[in-house]
Amino acid sequence: MEAKEHTDKIIEGMLEAVVITDLNGTIRRVNNEFEEGSGWKREEAVGKTAIELGIMSKEENQRIEKEVIPRLMKEGFVRN
């Protein structure tokens, strides 16, 4: 099994909603649990930001930009 296929299976098999974004906050991928829990279809969410979808406030986004992204860049991961 290729690494991408393996990763796909892990993400889709998770029982929690998963949202993967780029460093600009643009949603690149979501799993089925996200679709079921949020009501947003994958095709609607990908390419937008959480602010655009109304699932995150501007204040929370600013906190992430200030606190989380720098830690991610330094340590390579962030545990949520």
**Which tens digit of pLDDT belongs to each residue from 3-14?**
989 999 999 999
How remote is the C-alpha of 10 from its chain's centroid?
15
CATH H-level superfamily of 3-75:
PAS domain (3.30.450.20)
Average pLDDT for the chain: 93
What's the confidence (pLDDT) of residue 23? 84
DSSP 46: T
Per residue in 55-64, pLDDT (tens digit) is 999 999 999 9
CA distance 4 to 9: 9
Report the predicted TM-score, pTM, of the whole model to 2 decimal places.
0.82
With contact defined as beta carbons under 8 Å apart, do 44 and 57 qualify? no
Q: For 20, how many CA atoms within 13 A lie in the half-sphere containing its CB?
A: 10
Asked whether 51 and 27 are in contact (CB, 8 A), the reply is: no
> Mean per-residue pLDDT for 66-72?
91
